[in-house]
Structure 1
């Protein structure tokens, strides 16, 4: 049995083993829940407050795995720098701080994600109306897969939403392919189809979206010609380039005639030009030399031009006889000196050949020239009149005074 002395000794041992709580000793670890992309650098900071003595720091993971970071300690602050974050750094980091032998610790949970590039939507080679085709969209190097959602859209309309159904155990980035059976209609022509991938987590405040677009429609058409004006029997080449999805076919025919196949290639070659291949002239241009509305009395020029050298150009005022014309020339100029109000009206530039005519018009208005009468200078006109009135008044008063003086003197004599 243990006597009184034994019990006393055990009590002293227990008292000495109790660590005295240091008042105000607190510390913080930031950031507490970092969300960081693969390949970035992460810096954690452990900061101690109100420690009167020395502070020691220690960094580790929750399961004592290697965290791969480098720590730097100051008196009350310690930093842990982890460079080139990988998926394996998705872990809980523990910072342990001791103030005069009293330990405290806090944790920071690292969440790593990877979403480095836009999804890849392969070129739509042969979409055919009312025929179902499987479309695929690939997202590369994604992590974590359970945060991923893929949305298929036509313009702004959602066609299909895809989320990975089964997510197995994995510790690295991976690729994901979304497949969608699409049946286009005639109303879809010219509209874009897009694959929109979103990696999001409401809990950790992550929401990143990337997308790719593929065009389904006629696209663009460009044409070029080496010389639009050729003589009978000469060589002529016309090139037509068309982009679209699916790839459009090219059909050559003369405007105004039934579409008769002449060539399915991008280049149409006419080795011996004939009258049957000619057409109406190009639309001519009409320009006024004067900027703004011309005024009465000014000189103006009207230019009528065409890039079709074989056309007959005519420039005239509407509802009146022809003013000027030029045969087989590229331009005709009409000069109007000392413009009058009666010269206002619509002027027509007409290009004509054996196969038709084209017109351009311009409406010319003439501003009247107003004569402004110069008013006399009012003060200058008034001053001489005011001066004359004042002199007459003074003269009248003087004559009246002299007459009264004379009468007074005559009264005194008598």
Structure 2
């Protein structure tokens, strides 16, 4: 065992060198460790300190392989320039001889290839509860065993994959295949693929582009009272964020009342009832959803018309029409003071035919439109002229 005696000996040598003025030659190599991309150049410098004579330098590969590089010596400094680093480049050893003393040091080289961001094909759509096959390809990487691929939905990690070590002695593409089933809670969050190189903690991330999937509306109640306002918001998941347009079926132009993904119906009228379509689209695809807008309120004043023109005489045939152009209503057509009526719910018109009209058929006829919000009527007084025998 050496212990205190060895330490004392070292201190004694240092004191002796100080007294005699001699310095022990030292060798420095920079950088000691290099992490470098395939195809780049690397310069390593080897320097002798406190060498009283011109030192000689020898550069070798750590594995004693042929070292192809440019070497430039300047007094007690030697520069090694390695151009176009390949995956087969090895750590190097600098050996110097100074006044018959041999010194050597290593410079460790780690080579990698990670030139591009991951590539994700465009995804037609991501629909809740439907499995989707996702593919992320990281081009031209090396060495595989130092990489990890991770899938994200928003900030949530979905899947981690350590890369296959087979055939990892070359620059190559690597594809991660992940079967993913979106949930409703995932809507609005982007899908991304992150590739990490552990050598230098280098990260590259790509966000997937996908077309609109599930299209939803903000309210299940699409009824509006006459004269009031209705707003329906359309939501669609996609990247880039889908553009939203509303159409009323049967019309060719988007609704001017739509803004910020909303269909806005102000001062609702009967003509605004019907089917509306929300169209969500981006550069990947499009999806549509239809909703039925129902306008409710008291019926309009119905119309009552007589088929006969001019003076009405006994024995003539007539028809009485009762119609309504408002919202859903039950129509009835009947003679005042009589309970008999013709008509029914949700009919836009009713008809009463009278064959060979008689004086007893004269009177006031009523056209009635009725629903849960009110009742409106129109009346017509029918007179019949008696034909006298000559």
**TM-score (ref. length: structure 2):** 0.51
Specify the alignment match of 2:35 in structure 1: 35
Residue 167 (structure 1) aligned with residue 165 (structure 2) = yes
Shift of 1:227: 12
Distance 1:227 1:213, change over 3 A: closer
Specify the alignment match of 1:220 in structure 2: 242
Aligned 8 A contact 2:243 2:281 in 1: yes
Specify the alignment match of 1:138 in structure 2: 137
Shift of 1:134: 1.9
1:216-243, Cα deviation, whole Å (9 max, x unpaired): 5153225596997xxxxxxxxxxx9742
Specify the alignment match of 1:74 in structure 2: 74
Unaligned runs of 5+ in 1: 1-21, 229-239, 259-275, 277-414
Secondary structure of the corresponding residue to residue 286 of structure 2:
coil
Shift of 1:215: 4.7
Specify the alignment match of 1:94 in structure 2: 93
Secondary structure of the corresponding residue to residue 145 of structure 2:
helix
Aligned 8 A contact 2:143 2:169 in 1: no
* In 2: Cα distance, 1:61 partner to 1:156 partner: 45
1:248 corresponds to which of 268, 286, 296: 286
Aligned 8 A contact 1:153 1:195 in 2: yes
* In 1: Cα distance, 2:161 partner to 2:168 partner: 20
1:122-147, Cα deviation, whole Å (9 max, x unpaired): 11114332122221111111111111
* In 2: Cα distance, 1:128 partner to 1:227 partner: 27
Aligned 8 A contact 1:124 1:245 in 2: no
Specify the alignment match of 1:109 in structure 2: 108
1:360-399 matches, cutoff 5 A: none
Q: Name whichever structure is richer in strand by fraction.
A: 2
Aligned 8 A contact 2:151 2:192 in 1: yes
Secondary structure of the corresponding residue to residue 185 of structure 2:
helix
Aligned 8 A contact 2:27 2:48 in 1: yes
1:52-81, Cα deviation, whole Å (9 max, x unpaired): 112111111123322221011000100001
Tell me which structure has the larger Cα radius of gyration: 1
Specify the alignment match of 1:200 in structure 2: 198
**TM-score (ref. length: structure 1):** 0.49
1:306-317 matches, cutoff 5 A: none
* In 1: Cα distance, 2:75 partner to 2:189 partner: 64
Aligned 8 A contact 2:145 2:168 in 1: no
Distance 1:92 1:182, change over 3 A: same
* In 2: Cα distance, 1:257 partner to 1:83 partner: 78
Specify the alignment match of 1:178 in structure 2: 176
Distance 1:46 1:98, change over 3 A: same
Distance 1:56 1:149, change over 3 A: same
Secondary structure of the corresponding residue to residue 187 of structure 1:
helix
Aligned 8 A contact 2:53 2:99 in 1: yes
Distance 1:71 1:99, change over 3 A: same
Q: What is the aligned-residue RMSD (CA, Å)?
A: 3.1
Alignment size in residue pairs: 223
Secondary structure of the corresponding residue to residue 110 of structure 1:
strand
1:159-183, Cα deviation, whole Å (9 max, x unpaired): 111112x413543211111111111
Q: Name whichever structure is richer in helix by fraction.
A: 1
Aligned 8 A contact 1:119 1:140 in 2: yes
Distance 1:38 1:257, change over 3 A: farther
* In 2: Cα distance, 1:215 partner to 1:26 partner: 58
* In 2: Cα distance, 1:198 partner to 1:214 partner: 17
Shift of 1:33: 1.4
Aligned 8 A contact 1:39 1:84 in 2: yes
